Chains A and B, each alone.
Chain A
Amino acid sequence: MSQGGKRVQKKESIIQAALTLFSVYGFHKTTIPNIAKRIGMSSGNLYNYFPSKEILAQEIIKYTSEVLGEEIRKINQQKKLTTYKKIHKIVEVYFKMAIEKPEMIEYFLRVYLSHREVFVGECQRMVCVAGFITEIMIFFSDGVECGELRDQDFFSAFGLFMGYLGGMAFLNGEAILSRPLKEYTDDITQNIYNALKT
Chain B
Amino acid sequence: MPKLKKPTILWLQSITCNGNTHSFFSHPDFVALMQKFEIIHHPILNTKYTLENVANENLTCDVLVLEGAFRQTGMKKANKEIYDIAQKYAKKAKHIITAGSCATFGGIFRQYDTKSIGGFCFDGELPNETYKLFKKKLISIPGCPAHPRWIGSVLSMILTHRQIPLDELHRPLEIYAYNAHVGCSRSEYYEWKIDVSRYGHKEGCLFYDHGCQAPFTHANCNKILWNEISSKTRVGTPCFGCTEPTFPKKNLWHTTTLMGIPASMPIGIPKRAYLTIAGIAKSFTIKRLNEPIIKYKK
Cα separation A153 to B260 with both chains bound (whole Å): 5
B259 and A149 form a contact (CB under 8 A): yes
Which residues, 136 to 178 on A, are CB-close (under 8 Å) to B? 137-138, 140-145, 149, 151-155, 157
B271 and A133 form a contact (CB under 8 A): no
A151 and B279 form a contact (CB under 8 A): no
A145 and B263 form a contact (CB under 8 A): yes
A154 and B283 form a contact (CB under 8 A): no
CB distance from B269 to the nearest CB of A (A): 13
Cα separation A138 to B263 with both chains bound (whole Å): 11
Which residues, 43 to 63 on A, are CB-close (under 8 Å) to B? none
The interface residues of chain A lying within 8 Å CB-to-CB of B284 are: 124-125, 127
Cα separation A143 to B261 with both chains bound (whole Å): 12
Cα separation A61 to B236 with both chains bound (whole Å): 39
Interface of A is mostly: helix
Q: How many residues on chain A are close to B (CB under 8 Å)?
A: 25
Q: Does B276 sit within 8 A of A, measured CB to CB? A: yes
The interface residues of chain A lying within 8 Å CB-to-CB of B285 are: 124
Cα separation A140 to B257 with both chains bound (whole Å): 11
Query: Which interface residue of A73, A135, A144, A149 has the most chain B CB atoms within 10 A?
Result: A144
Q: Does A81 sit within 8 A of B, measured CB to CB? A: no
A127 and B263 form a contact (CB under 8 A): no
Residue-wise, chain A 115-127 has the 8 Å CB interface mask toward B (1 for contact) of 0000000001111
Cα separation A157 to B279 with both chains bound (whole Å): 17
Contacting A137 at CB < 8 Å: which of B263, B275, B280, B283?
Answer: B275
Query: What is the chain B residue whose CB lies nearest that of A153?
Result: B260
The interface residues of chain B lying within 8 Å CB-to-CB of A127 are: 279-280, 283-284
CB distance from B228 to the nearest CB of A (A): 40
Q: Does A130 sit within 8 A of B, measured CB to CB? A: yes
Interface of B is mostly: mixed
B272 and A157 form a contact (CB under 8 A): no
What range describes how many residues of B lie at the interface?
A: 10 to 19
CB distance from A156 to the nearest CB of B (A): 9
Q: Does A134 sit within 8 A of B, measured CB to CB? A: yes
CB distance from A109 to the nearest CB of B (A): 21
B275 and A155 form a contact (CB under 8 A): no
Known: A137-B275, A138-B272, A138-B275. A157 touches B259 (CB 8 A): yes
CB distance from A70 to the nearest CB of B (A): 12
Known: A124-B283, A127-B280, A127-B283. A134 touches B259 (CB 8 A): no
Q: Does B249 sit within 8 A of A, measured CB to CB? A: no
B258 and A133 form a contact (CB under 8 A): no
Contacting A141 at CB < 8 Å: which of B261, B276, B279?
Answer: B261
The interface residues of chain A lying within 8 Å CB-to-CB of B198 are: none
Q: Which residues of A contact B (CB under 8 A)?
A: 73, 124-127, 130-131, 133-135, 137-138, 140-145, 149, 151-155, 157
What are 5 A-B pairs at a CB distance below 8 A? A126-B282, A130-B279, A134-B276, A138-B275, A157-B259
